[in-house]
Amino acid sequence: MTKQKRQADPDLLARLWQNLVLSWRLLLDRRVSSTAKLIPVAMIAYILSPIDLLPDVLLPFGVADDIGVLLLGLQWFIRSAPQGVVDEYRGGRPAPAQDSDPNAPQIIEGQYHIYDNDDENR
Q: Are 101 and 42 in contact (CB under 8 A)?
A: no
Question: For residue 105, is pLDDT > 80?
Answer: no
Question: For residue 98, is pLDDT > 60?
Answer: no
Provide the 10 A C-beta neighbour count for residue 114. Answer: 5
Question: For residue 120, is pLDDT > 80?
Answer: no
Percent of the chain residues topping a pLDDT of 70: 76
In whole numbers, what is the pLDDT of the chain averaged over residues? 81
Q: What is the mean pLDDT of residues 35-59?
A: 84
* pTM given for the model: 0.63
Cα separation, 106 vs 73, whole angstroms: 37
Cα separation, 83 vs 104, whole angstroms: 21
Residue 107: pLDDT band with limits 50, 70, 90? confident
Q: Are 40 and 23 in contact (CB under 8 A)?
A: yes
Per mean pLDDT, which range of 11-25, 42-56, 95-109 is the poorest?
A: 95-109
pLDDT tens, residue by residue, 15-27: 889 999 999 999 9
At residue 10, the pLDDT reads: 67
At residue 4, the pLDDT reads: 60
Query: Residue 15 half-sphere exposure, CB side, CA atoms within 13 Å?
Result: 8
